[in-house]
Structure 1
Amino acid sequence: MAVVTLDDQITIALSVRDRHASAEWYNRMLGFTLRHHLDEVGWSELNTKTEGVVLGLGEQGEPQPGNSVPVFGTPDIHAARAALEAEGVSFDGETQTMEGMVSLATFYDPDGNALMLAQDLSKG
């Protein structure tokens, strides 16, 4: 049985039309605080009021309601992916890497719900 090592943070990713406007809305309405905007990759993150839970905003032209994807941090995305694949877990394409930022791999639970692994590459 696969046991994947995860970080102590979860990111709930949402698709939005305008990350900057959405970040302001989440700050004004819910008190979430901006962690950063990564304009070069169309991504923003906000701290929620719950420790270890981050809201990620990915920019899309026409986002679909109900499109949240839990993103689980892991210190070694290659080992985590290999362990899940060894158990027959299906992934959506190759692991995507933005050098110096993050590596991402989307996978699916038995009901087809999308989940994602993320390895933070900005730390050393």
Structure 2
Amino acid sequence: MSLISLDNTINIALSVKDRHVSAAWYEKMLGFKTIYHADDAGWSELQTNTQGVTIGLGEHTKPVPGNCVPVFGIADLDSARQKLEQAKVKFDGETDVIEGMVKTATFYDPDGNAMMLAQDLTNGAA
């Protein structure tokens, strides 16, 4: 049994120079569908052809190729983070919250690979 319980969603987060251009590329080349552009947050999200798997595009002035971060959906991020921290899992700073949208926390596996937990706040969850 695992320490925490993830939901059935995975977002693969990528850094890009222009989210709108990249979203159009993913739509044309791979048939993905843009779910939304959150311009204030510098974030866009696309539905892949696999249920429960989305691509997130974070806008950066100098993206580094190969900087893929898997983002795992979770119902209660605070509880999961507490359990992982008690198990000595390293986190990158505090939990980030975009009110009414998402709560995220970046953590690392034993080899230093970044991963993220994300709690959806769009349905009134806290």
**TM-score band, normalised by shorter chain:** over 0.9
Residue 101 of structure 2 is aligned to residue 98 of structure 1: no
Letter in 1 for 2:44: S
Once the two structures are superposed, residues 16-69 of structure 1 have per-residue CA deviations (whole angstroms, 9 ceiling, x without a partner) of: 000000000000000000111111100000000111110000000010000000
Structure 1: state its 5+ residue gaps: none
Give runs of aligned pairs for residues 1-124 of structure 1, distance below 5 A.
Answer: 3-124=3-124
Structure 2: state its 5+ residue gaps: none
CA RMSD for the aligned pairs? Answer: 1.0
- Displacement of 1:2: 5.5
- Name the SS of the counterpart of 1:54 in structure 2: strand
Once the two structures are superposed, residues 65-123 of structure 1 have per-residue CA deviations (whole angstroms, 9 ceiling, x without a partner) of: 00000000100000010111010000000001011111110000000000000001011
Letter in 2 for 1:71: V
Normalising by structure 2, we get a TM-score of 0.96
Normalising by structure 1, we get a TM-score of 0.97
The 2-side partners of 1:59 and 1:43 are apart by: 6
Letter in 2 for 1:49: N
Native 8 Å contact 1:2 1:87 kept in 2: no
- Runs of 4+ that moved beyond 2 A: none
Letter in 2 for 1:8: N
Q: How many residue pairs end up in the alignment?
A: 124
Identity of aligned residues (%): 61
